[in-house]
Amino acid sequence: MRALSRLAPLACAALLAACSSMPWSRAPATVADGVFVGPNGMTLYTFDRDTMGAGKSVCNGPCATAWPPLMASAGDTGSGEWTIVTRDDGSRQWAYRGKPVYYWARDAKPGDRTGDGFNNAWRLARP
Buried b (16+ CB within 10 A) or exposed e, 59-69: beeeebebbbb
Over range 66-87, report the average pLDDT.
Answer: 96
Q: How far is CA 90 from CA 8, 13, 34, 52, 87, in A?
A: 47, 40, 31, 19, 5
Q: What is the pLDDT of residue 27?
A: 86
As a whole number, mean pLDDT of residues 65-83 equals 96
pLDDT tens digits along 108-124: 999 999 999 999 999 99
